[in-house]
Amino acid sequence: MNELIKHFTSKKSSEETMEEKYKKLLLLYKSLSHMIYKEDPKDVLDSLFQAISDYLDLDIYFNYIFDEATGKLHLMNSYGIDENSVKEAECLELGEFVCGTVAEEQERCIVQHVDESLDEKVQFIKGLGLKSYVCHPLMAYGKLIGTLSFGSFRRSTFSPEEIEFIYTICNGVAITLDRTFLIRDLKKSKEEAEKANRIKTEFLSMMSHEFRTPLNSILGFAQILEDDLEAPLSSMQEKRVKRILTSGRQLLKLINEMLDIARYDAPPAKRFMEPVMIVAMIRKCVDRIKPDAEAKGISITHDLTDVMEESVWGVSIRLEQVVGNLLVNAVKYNKWGGNIHIKCRRHTETVVLIIKDTGIGIPADELEHIFTPFYRIHNEETNIEGTGIGLAIVKKLINEMDGEAGVESVLGEGSTFWITMKLVHDRKVDERSDEYNQSPAGR
């Protein structure tokens, strides 16, 4: 009979132990789950304390954060203590009180029967009326985050299982707080970078406009002097005026590139996509670049028979800027007496525009960077001016119009740039859909 009683007593005790473990695991899961979705550190700790306080008969918590710059602990969150006590303990030196000692030694401290302790470092929590107290260092990836401590007015001891449970909770808090602080710092850095970038963009835009107005006046009057048939210039004067015009146009070009930089950094504007006649647009761009090409003896040939009657979806002025930038580069980096060949190919959903030059080419290891803002080819044999923004503008604008841009090149033989544009099929403009085919087009 005694053996039977022992058996049932042992079984009941085992069942209670299993039930207690289940409750503990469930509580641990809920506590850590709540912390993961909190962004504010106080919300993290308040949520945790609410989850475990009843289970462990806890009445207060302290959360200190370690400041590496000052080497001190600052009270970030607390619960259950009066305002005067908070002020007294809001900043601790390493080694001061229990929390300062835990942070300094990076070892947990368990104070049971607080009212019986004679340790000077315990006097503060003893004065609060606590009976038991546990303080843990918060460590994440070997770095001290701070400390987290819990106390009770109702119980004098914690069981080994409860102490281990608190240890597990504190480890979870350390990782969560580290993640929370990291996200907060990243957001702050992002906001500061965006603000600085916005100020820079506004400054560039404003200064470019301010420079362009007087410069246009200078160029205008210089042009009048050069073209004035009634009062012709002497050969020396004509030479000087030409120098003014040449330098002024170079400066105007640089100012326009500064405006391009400002536009590049600005968020993409919502533009209405409309059908653009591809051949007419290309011819307009060629006409603009032809004088510069002729000055270097560069011939421009084309094969547009595949798209003579075709239109593409886009913003006309932006497509002209894209093609114009590619043609400017084809002239700028071409050889004297070279050639630029423009070709279009029609595919099922896209038109591919290809611009091939006979220029200096691009080193293979630099091709992947060629569309990066401000990137310029490292070629000591050339002294070509530019900001390195033109191709970045090409990539950005063509992507905004649901197209793609790419390049192939052989050093010393020339480069082939291409862009894809969405083809307009025979249908009404107001039936246009945003459901464009996003797959890359082959050439």
User: What are 171-199's pLDDT values in tens digits?
Assistant: 888 888 888 888 888 888 988 888 887 78
Asked whether residue 138 is assigned to any structural domain, the reply reads yes
Same domain, 152 and 37: yes
Last residue of a domain, one of 187, 205, 231: 187
pLDDT in tens, 395-438: 988 998 999 999 999 988 999 999 999 999 864 444 444 443 33
Same domain, 296 and 236: no
Last residue of a domain, one of 263, 293, 310: 263
- pLDDT for 222: 85
CATH number for the domain spanning 27: value is: 3.30.450.40
Are 58 and 49 contacting, i.e. CB atoms less than 8 angstroms apart? yes
Same domain, 224 and 319: no
Q: Which two tokens stand for residue 165?
A: 């449970």
CATH number for the domain spanning 346: value is: 3.30.565.10
| Amino acid, res. 95 | G
Half-sphere exposure of 434 (CA within 13 A, CB side): 4
Last residue of a domain, one of 214, 240, 263: 263
Asked whether residue 269 is assigned to any structural domain, the reply reads no
CA-to-CA separations, 200 to 205, 258, 259, 393, in angstroms, rounded = 9, 11, 12, 17
Asked whether residue 379 is assigned to any structural domain, the reply reads yes
d(CA 187, CA 185): 5
Same domain, 330 and 285: yes
Half-sphere exposure of 34 (CA within 13 A, CB side): 18
**Beta-carbon neighbour count of residue 273 at 10 Å?**
19
- pLDDT for 145: 93
Query: Residue 419: enclosing H or E segment and its boundaries?
Result: strand 414-422
Number of domains making up the chain: 3
pLDDT, averaged per 10 consecutive residues of the chain (443 residues), comes to 42 49 57 60 76 84 92 91 88 93 94 91 91 94 93 92 87 85 87 82 74 81 81 84 83 75 62 88 92 92 92 91 92 93 94 94 87 68 62 89 93 93 70 40 38
Asked whether residue 434 is assigned to any structural domain, the reply reads no
pTM of the model: 0.51
Asked whether residue 443 is assigned to any structural domain, the reply reads no
Instruction: Report the percent of the chain where pLDDT is more than 70.
Output: 81
- CA angle, residues 239, 242, 245, in degrees to nearest 5: 155
- pLDDT for 382: 54
- pLDDT for 265: 64
Instruction: Give the burial class of 277: count Cβ atoms within 10 A of its Cβ; 0-12 exposed, 13-18 middle, 19 or more buried.
Output: middle
List 355's β-bridge partners, or say none. Answer: 342, 417
Asked whether residue 292 is assigned to any structural domain, the reply reads yes
Same domain, 258 and 388: no
Q: Which domain holds residue 225?
A: 196-263
Same domain, 179 and 56: yes
- CA angle, residues 31, 26, 150, in degrees to nearest 5: 45
pLDDT in tens, 203-259: 777 777 677 778 888 888 888 888 876 788 888 888 888 888 888 877 887 777 777
- CA angle, residues 416, 419, 423, in degrees to nearest 5: 140
> Which residues 6+ apart lie within 8 Å of 413 measured at CB?
358, 361
DSSP conformation class of 382: -
Same domain, 21 and 168: yes
- pLDDT for 21: 54
Are 62 and 99 contacting, i.e. CB atoms less than 8 angstroms apart? yes
Asked whether residue 435 is assigned to any structural domain, the reply reads no
Same domain, 288 and 218: no
Which of 58, 57, 91 has its CA nearest to residue 73? 91
> Which residues 6+ apart lie within 8 Å of 67 measured at CB?
73, 74
Same domain, 86 and 27: yes
Asked whether residue 436 is assigned to any structural domain, the reply reads no
d(CA 61, CA 175): 18
d(CA 112, CA 74): 25
Same domain, 50 and 21: yes
Same domain, 70 and 158: yes
Same domain, 251 and 300: no
Buried-state track 380-391, b at ≥16 Cβ within 10 A, e below 16? eeeeeebebbbb
